[in-house]
Structure 1
Amino acid sequence: MDVVRRMSRWAKLSEPGFISFLFQILLGAVIVLIFWILDGLLDYLLFGGRPLSEYLLASDSHEDFALVLFLVGGLLLYSRRAHRHEAALEQALQAALDEAQKERAKMESIFEALGEAVSIQDADLRVLYQNPAHRRMTGDNIGRYCYEAYRKESEPCAGCHLLASFEDDKVHRAELGPEASATGGYVELIGSSLKGKDGKPLFGIEVVRDITARKLAEKETAALNAALTHQTTELQQANQELEAFCHAISHDMRAPLTRVYSSAQELRGYREQLDENGRFFVDLVHDGCVQMEALLDSLMVLCRVTEVELSCTSFDLIPAAQEIAAQLRQEYPGRPVSFLAPDGLTVYGDPQLLRVVLENLLSNAWKYSNKVDAPVVELGTQRTEQGETAIFIRDNGAGFDSTRAGQLFQPFKRLHTYRDFPGTGLGLATVRRIVRRHNGRVWGEGEAGRGATFYFTLPG
């Protein structure tokens, strides 16, 4: 321990301040000694008669020496106090420098941790600092002017975002393309400023973001939108042509069909005069006219549901369903179908178009269950896996092959023969078009010989 104390004391004695203090003491002693010798030598030269040593040791010389010693001591004390004050100032300055260094290190740590590329520039746009992300993006340009380093210009760029921030103290943004940016891609520049108490700019902080991916995505989105707009225009034109075609077919074919139908009706009055083959062909023409009339009516309905504007409101679907069921019972009096439905089912949509949906689905359920002993048709709701509320119409009739479910809603596609189940093949296509106009979806599930269930949703 003694050795440690001696080494500690020697370390303190070796400090620059203590050495300076010893030097001042020695310097004062030398000054006093020189003054003492000069004083004795001056008395010896002026008065003489005695040896020089007596003048040096005379009492008045001691008094002078004491006065000089007092002055030198005071000077030394003042010098020591000034030295301590200077040491305290140096210590405070060092502490301030250490604190500033810590803050700088903290700031650099924050900037280095950021994913953004950050640089700091002085009021003359000279680069003072770059974080690693900025150096990776633009290279090491510390000490260079930004316009020289990034744009190969000899003076500040026109419309510089940092100079604008220096003027109004606001955040300014700019975007550069591959032809102007230092990265060779699209970048976004965000500039802000730090000003002193006098309002003059001290530093400019610049954040550089690589927005190449975003710009390419925007261009791709714009191209897709343009293509989609073009396709939408073509689709609208095709729909208009299809509607015009449907109208032309429905109207232009109705007149000759009426003549054929009327002739077939007249020929049926001559059944007794015709043989069996003649009666067969007359009935065949008559039934074909009836089927064609139904097909034309279905085409008109399909065109009408496309043209009509939606007039949506909230209403109860059950009264319309009960009315349609009553009409179907009258059309098929020999078929005791049990119809099950809830007391109320409020939906949001176009009442007229949704009635068409019910008419098609309920008539299909009635038709395809005509060969079972106890036909049952049910209307209700069910929660889907996607969290939607789906309205369903279920029957226990003929059903269908589930592997061909994708053909159900295609126009003129039939999964059963016309002889077994007459129809036009447009009912489900009309249902799908109406449901899609309500931004919903429709699908069917079934099994051959075990009935079918058709679902549709109405997001509104």
Structure 2
Amino acid sequence: MSPSPHPQPLSNWRLPALGLVIVVIVVTPFLLLRQAAIDIDAAWAMVVHTHETEATVHSLAADMRNMESGALSLASGVDNAMLRNRVADSRERIIPTLQKLRRLTSDNPAQQVRIAELQTNLLLRKAHADRIIEAGANDVTAIDIDAMVARYPIHDLIAEIVGEEQRLLTQRQARAEQMDRRARWATWIAMAGQLLLLGGVLVYSARQLAHRLRAESDAQRASARASVVLDTVREPIMLVDGQQRVVLYNAAFAELYGVEGDPRGKPLTELGDGAWNDERILRRLADVLGRGRELWDHEQVQRTADGVERTMVINARRMPLPDSDEDVALVTASDISLQKASDRQIRELNRQLEGKVEQVSDVNRELEAFSYSVSHDLRAPLRHIAGFGDKLGRHLGENLDDKSSHYLDVMVSSARRMSALIDDLLVYSRLGRSALRLQSVDMQSLAAETRAMLDANNSTEAPEHRIEWRIAPLPIVVGDENMLRQVWLNLLGNAVKYSRGSEPARIEIGYRRADDGAHEFEVRDNGAGFDMQYAGKLFGVFQRLHAASEFPGTGIGLASVRRVLARHGGRIWAQSEPGQGAAFHFTLPAAGDLPASNETTP
């Protein structure tokens, strides 16, 4: 009996039919449930809309009552700031609340008619209330109060509007609950259909499982024959059995170790002119097969077929053969000779670097000694000059003429200015030598602390100088907190100093995130400003664009700011016009772009 020609076409149609059923059962419930969810959301949205409309009506009535009661209180002679503020707040909300109510009921013509009538009466009552509020207790008559309270009724209109919204609320809640019930039924129906589909899929899968097992068996045998692809791998690979005889190898292995002929079945120790005849590697390969251990990154120096000694990294693990019950060890060898040479070169460079670091440490110690000498040896004479100058002035007393007094003042003030310069130079030097202590820094807190300190100093030194601060929200950055505090102290201190004479002074702190992810800050004031043609001198040591008699200072503050920002990988620049204030912009990189914490700047 010959086979029927129909089974094959039926088999071809079975899988597409199953796929179509799956799509219908999965997609159809999804679409039904999705539509049900949309309907439910729309129904409940209308319920929420009704509640919002009702709340708006009550809010409008409350504001009107509040305004009228305030007007009656003023008419009775009660007048205070709190009452007027409350009345003013209610007056400002009435018109926007009316407009919102008209928008909320724009889909209901009947409500629109009621709200139009309500708006007319409300505005008329509001006009009478405004007249009573403006007139006060002296000019208000009973007629005015009667016109405000009784002539234009609104309570019945409000009750009608609220009643209509209550009726709509009942209808909309009923519809929302109906949509919920439909959605639950759709869920149960979808689940039943999907269970039926699952049963059909299981039956079909059981029939296909036997065919799949036979196919996998054939694929395993085919995979064993495909081991020849190992020859295309450039890394030496071989298989070794329990007696450490070669079972399989690839072309890269034969080329590297000079294997001639077919070495399969030969002991591993006979290959590569004894390259594998090493007790340690043989013992470890035996452990791989005998104890189930794995060999990872074992370094072995071997002489290969070209006579060169190479450092090889050997890995091995046990694996079963698909066409045999015997386990073998899969061995791979990688040449890392170039990497070893690079490591030696890196170690030599590190040794040289350590010597350079030691030299830098010596220089830093010398700088520390110099700073100590400046701090102690130079300050002592300056203290003597300033101290004895004061004593000389007190000693001469009334015998001191104007010229002598001027000489003494110049001498003492110069000594004190020299002392301030030494202090600023030491700070500037430390900013370049000390290691960065990177941590999370809240720039908002730093700016607020600096502002509080400057406000306290300003109230003592120049109480007539008024300052208006505008500080934008500032981020948390990664940096050295003490150094960044120095940045804010110098920039905000300059803004306060150079804005004296501009009353009131306006100091703004801004922030934005740059396109490259960096943090960009801005400090802007309305002070004296400067000519941009001298901007190149602005951040140099001892560079000043204003006379010391006009604005005191040493000329080191902005140089210190630039040094701190440079060490953090940022930069600073300024924009200004004479008499128009100045704006200082500075950047800090994102956390991943920060320099190493031990990096120093000369």
Structures share fold, TM-score greater than 0.5: yes
2:530 to 383, 387, 398: 398
Q: For 1:343 and 1:165, locate their aligned partners in 2 and report how far apart those are by CA, in whole Å.
A: 63
**Counterpart of 1:37?**
none
Q: What's the counterpart of residue 118 of structure 1?
A: 237
Q: Distance in 1 between matches of 2:547 and 2:355?
A: 40
Does residue 436 of structure 2 align to residue 316 of structure 1? no
Structure with the largest fraction of helix: 2
Structure 1 residue aligned with 2:84: none
Of all paired residues, the percent bearing the same amino acid is 22
Match of 1:129 in 2: 248
**1:294 positional shift:** 0.9
- The aligned counterpart of 2:516 is 386
Total equivalences in the alignment? 353
Structure 2 partner of 1:377: 507
Describe the shift of the 1:238–1:399 C-alpha distance in structure 2 as closer, same or farther (beyond 3 A): farther
| 8 A contact 1:317–1:347 mirrored in 2 | no
CA–CA separation in structure 2 for the residues paired with 1:402 and 1:124: 86
Cα distance, 1:209 vs structure 2: 1.7
Q: How far apart are the structure 2 equivalents of 1:240 and 1:148? A: 63
Q: Could you say what secondary structure the match of 2:281 adopts?
A: coil
Cα deviation, 1:179-202, whole Å, max 9, x if unaligned, reads 6566644321112345689x9966
Q: Which residue of structure 2 aligns with residue 453 of structure 1?
A: 584
Tell me the amino acid that sits aligned with residue 571 of structure 2.
W
Superposed, 1:65-214 pairs within 5 Å as: 102-109=222-229, 111-112=230-231, 114=233, 116-141=235-260, 142-143=262-263, 145-150=267-272, 152=274, 155-160=277-282, 161-176=284-299, 180=303, 184-194=309-319, 203-214=328-339
Question: How many Å separate the matches in 1 of 2:508 and 2:467?
Answer: 10
- Displacement, 1:174? 4.9
Mapped to 2, the partners of 1:415 and 1:257 lie a distance apart of 23
CA RMSD across the alignment: 4.8
Tell me, yes or no, if the aligned pair for 1:381 and 1:391 is still in contact at 8 Å.
Answer: yes
Q: 2:249, 2:237 → 1: CA distance? A: 6
Structure 2 CA distance for partners of 1:132 and 1:284, relative to 1, 3 Å: farther
CA contact (8 A) 2:522 2:584 kept: yes
Pairwise CA distance, 1:129: 3.3
Task: Flag the 1:123–1:392 CA change in 2: closer, same or farther, 3 A.
Answer: same
Aligned CA distance change for structure 1 residues 303 and 175 (closer, same or farther; 3 Å): same
Matches of 1:413 and 1:227, distance apart in 2: 38
| Counterpart AA for 2:524 | R
SS in structure 1 at match of 2:510: strand
Change (3 A) 1:99 1:266: closer
**Within 2, Cα distance between the matches of 1:202 and 1:309?**
57
Distance 1:371 1:209, change over 3 A: farther
Distance 2:480 2:389 in 1: 40
- The residue that corresponds to 2:455 in the other structure is 326
| Range that drifts further, 302-311 or 361-370 | 302-311
2: CA distance between counterparts of 1:283 and 1:366? 27
Q: Indicate yes or no: 2:492 matched with 1:362.
A: yes
Residue of structure 2 in register with 1:72 after alignment: none
1:218 Cα offset (Å): 3.6
C-alpha separation in 2, matches of 1:138 and 1:369: 82
Q: Which moved more, 1:243-252 or 1:348-357?
A: 348-357
TM-score (ref. length: structure 2)? 0.47
The DSSP-based 3-state class of the residue aligned with 1:317 is: helix
Matching residue of 1:91: none
Give the counterpart letter for 2:448 in structure 1: P
Residues 1:248 and 2:373 are matched in the alignment: yes
Please report how far the alpha carbon of residue 118 of structure 1 lies from its aligned counterpart in structure 2 after TM superposition.
1.3
CA distance in 2 between partners of 1:156 and 1:178 (Å) = 10
Which residue in 2 is equivalent to 1:292?
418
- Write the distance in 1 (CA, Å) between the matches of 2:436 and 2:335: 50
Q: Which runs of 5+ in 1 are unaligned?
A: 1-97
Whether the 8 Å CA contact 1:440–1:456 is kept in 2: the answer is no
SS in structure 2 at match of 1:159: helix
Contact 1:247 1:300 survives alignment (8 Å): no
Give the counterpart letter for 2:582 in structure 1.
Answer: G
Whichever residue aligns with residue 247 of structure 1, its letter is: Y
> What runs of 5+ residues in structure 2 fail to find an aligned partner?
1-217, 592-602
Deviation at 1:361?
1.8
Residues in 2 aligned to 1:258 and 1:228: alpha-carbon distance in whole angstroms: 44
Checking the alignment, whether the CA contact within 8 Å between 2:298 and 2:314 is kept in structure 1 is yes
Question: What are the Cα deviations for residues 294-345 of structure 1, in whole angstroms up to 9, with x where unaligned?
Answer: 1233245457774998997767334313313414644456766543223777
Query: Contact 2:518–2:587 (CA<8 Å) still a contact in 1?
Result: no
Tell me, what secondary structure is at the counterpart of 2:401?
helix
Residues 445 and 453, structure 1, Cα contact 8 Å, conserved in 2? yes
SS of corresponding position for 1:398: coil
2-side partners of 1:458 and 1:447: how far apart? 21
2:472 to 324, 342, 348: 342
CA distance in 2, matches of 1:303, 1:391: 25
SS at match of 2:290: helix
Would you say the 8 A contact 2:437–2:479 is kept in 1?
no
Distance 1:225 1:415, change over 3 A: farther
Could you tell me whether the CA contact under 8 Å between 2:268 and 2:277 is conserved in 1?
no
Amino acid at match of 2:292: D
CA contact (8 A) 1:400 1:452 kept: no
User: 1:414 aligns to what SS in structure 2?
Assistant: coil
Moved more, 416-425 or 205-214: 416-425
Tell me the alpha carbon deviations over residues 43-81 of structure 1, each in whole angstroms, 9 at most, x when there is no partner: xxxxxxxxxxxxxxxxxxxxxxxxxxxxxxxxxxxxxxx
- Which SS does the other structure have where 1:380 is aligned? strand
Q: Secondary structure of the residue that 2:530 maps to in structure 1?
A: coil
Does structure 2 retain, via aligned residues, the 8 Å contact 1:328–1:366?
no
Q: 1:164 to 1:403 in 2, by over 3 A?
A: farther
Contact 1:446 1:453 in 2 (8 A): yes
Amino acid at match of 1:249: V
CA 1:444–1:376 in 2, change beyond 3 Å: closer, same or farther? farther
Task: Measure how far apart 1:383 and its partner are.
Answer: 1.0
Deviations 1:435-458 (A, max 9, x none): 68xx84442122463734242549
Change (3 A) 1:322 1:192: closer
- Tell me if structure 2 keeps the 8 A contact 1:341–1:378: yes
Question: Within 1, Cα distance between the matches of 2:234 and 2:557?
Answer: 59
Once the two structures are superposed, residues 192-235 of structure 1 have per-residue CA deviations (whole angstroms, 9 ceiling, x without a partner) of 345689x9966432111233344344444444544444444444
Contact 2:520 2:585 in 1 (8 A): no
CA distance in 1, matches of 2:301, 2:281: 18
